[in-house]
């Protein structure tokens, strides 16, 4: 009897893997909207900035929140938005990190006239597929 084909292993369910998947989807969303990703996972004294992007006019610091929907949940359901988890302390940390990022970047071409803080909430199903993506421009 021939050996049975191996089933693919299930997607990793760790928090880190979920977060990475959400950041990948958020970066792809920004690229589709004409942004260039300048930096990812910028670590500093106060924490981490998930994404830094620019479309030539606006420099955007992006906080990405990703969650997995409960089994059987469908897109558009009444599950809470991941964006509800972006609290005041986190917004303050991202602002401090953004200032540090700006001060430590080598001076190149003129900087965009506008700096903005966005939040992107991503909801994945149990298999890591996108159920919902919410982009809140100028979140704070």
The DSSP element (H or E) to which 30 belongs, if any, is helix 15-32
Segment 82-109 mean pLDDT: 81
Question: Is 77 part of any domain?
Answer: no
121 against 126, higher pLDDT = 121
CA distances from 19 to 68, 82, 99, 120 (A): 10, 12, 24, 12
- For residue 120, the model assigns a pLDDT of 94
The CATH code of the domain that includes 57 is 3.40.1350.10
Q: Print the domain residue range for 115.
A: 15-69+85-136
Q: What percent of the chain has pLDDT over 70?
A: 80
Q: Tell me if 103 sits within 8 A of 45, measured CB to CB.
A: no
Number of domains in the chain: 1
Q: Is the pLDDT of residue 8 over 60?
A: no
In a domain, 2, yes or no: no
Residue 79 placed within a domain: no
Average pLDDT estimate for 47-75 = 85
Torsion of CA 50, 37, 120, 115, to 10 degrees: 90
Sorting pLDDT into bands at 50, 70 and 90, what band is 83? confident
Work out the pLDDT band at 9, boundaries 50, 70, 90: very low
- Mean of pLDDT over the chain: 82
Phi and psi at residue 131, to the nearest 5°: -100, -40
What is the rounded CA–CA span in Å between residue 58 and residue 11?
A: 35
Q: Output 13 or 68, whichever has higher pLDDT.
A: 68
3-state secondary structure of 87: coil
């Amino acid at each position: 009897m021939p050996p049975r084909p191996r089933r693919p292993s299930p997607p990793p369910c760790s928090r880190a893997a979920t977060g990475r998947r959400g950041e990948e989807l958020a970066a792809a969303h920004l690229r589709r909207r004409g942004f260039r990703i300048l930096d990812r996972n910028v670590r500093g004294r106060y924490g981490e900035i998930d994404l830094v992007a620019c479309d030539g006019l606006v420099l955007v610091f992006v906080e990405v929140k990703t969650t997995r929907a409960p089994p059987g949940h469908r897109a558009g359901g009444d599950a809470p938005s991941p964006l509800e988890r972006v609290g005041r302390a986190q917004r303050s940390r991202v602002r401090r990190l953004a200032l540090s990022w700006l001060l430590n970047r080598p001076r190149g071409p003129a900087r965009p006239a506008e700096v903005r803080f966005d939040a992107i909430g991503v909801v994945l199903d149990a298999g890591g597929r996108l159920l919902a993506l919410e982009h809140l421009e100028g979140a704070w």
